[in-house]
Amino acid sequence: MDVDLSRLEPVLDHYDKGDGSALIHALQDLQATYRYLPAEGVKAISEHLQVPLARAYAAATFYKAFSLEPQGRTLIQVCKGTACHVRGAQLLEDELCRALDIEVGGTTKDQDYTVKTVNCVGACAMAPLVIIGEKYHGKAKATRLTKLVTEAQQVSKGGSDDEA
Ligand code: FES
């Protein structure tokens, strides 16, 4: 995948040269800009902040919020913590992957969706939980997932965001 490097400059300009303490923030900006951490961007940040490339990659791989692979416009996260697991998280994951025709961790061909699993996010009372984009969907049911995903797509393409 070609990376539009012109979008990298504003990220770098935001941080002082040699300011290694800004590594995580710079990686967050990079992730927000590209929806993942392109190798060219990680290298440029490492050079700009004068942080060893190995340290930049250590941070990039340590935090689950970062991805080294391109991600879809909408991230769908299925909680696989214990409470969600015992309340049917596997069924939700299976249904999502079947409906979108991808494996967990994968991205749809049109780059619209990426499905990932996460550990407990601290909302066990809502189990089983699916997070679509920024929105938490508690007591999620496999039969409603397709509708929720379609709604999320409409929101990301400029539609209404009224309903949970
Ligand atoms: S186990 Fe899913 S939110 Fe806690």
Interatomic CA distance for residues 113 and 23, integer angstroms:
27
Domain residue extents for the chain: 5-62, 74-156
Q: What's the gap in Å between 137 CA and the centre of ligand 1? A: 12
Interatomic CA distance for residues 89 and 73, integer angstroms:
23
Q: What's the gap in Å between 123 CA and the centre of ligand 1? A: 5
Q: What's the gap in Å between 148 CA and the centre of ligand 1? A: 19
Give the pLDDT score at 158. Answer: 57
Q: What's the gap in Å between 129 CA and the centre of ligand 1? A: 7
| CA proximity to 68, closest of 103, 33, 31, 32 | 31
Mean pLDDT on 43-60: 97
Whether residue 161 is predicted with pLDDT greater than 50 in this model: the reply is no
Which CATH number, 3.40.50.970, 3.40.140.10, 3.40.30.10, 3.40.50.720, labels domain 74-156?
3.40.30.10
**pLDDT tens digit string along 19-30?**
999 999 999 999
Pocket-testing residue among 77, 118, 121, 130, ligand 1, by greatest number of atoms within 8 A of Cβ:
121
Q: Which residue has the tokens 């300009």?
A: 13
Provide the mean pLDDT of the chain.
89
The protein residue with its alpha carbon nearest to ligand 1, atom 1, reads 81
State the closest ligand 1 atom to the C-alpha of 127, by its place in the atom list counted from 1. Answer: 2
Which residues surround ligand 1 with Cβ inside 6 Å?
Answer: 79, 81-84, 120-121, 123-124, 127, 129
Mean pLDDT on 10-19: 96
Mean pLDDT on 48-61: 96
Q: What's the gap in Å between 30 CA and the centre of ligand 1? A: 28
CA angle 88, 103, 132 (to 5 degrees): 60
Whether residue 101 is predicted with pLDDT greater than 60 in this model: the reply is yes
Peptide bond preceding 70: is omega within 30 degrees of 0, i.e. cis?
no
Write down the pTM of the prediction: 0.74
Residue 140 — very low, low, confident or very high, per pLDDT cuts 50/70/90?
A: very high
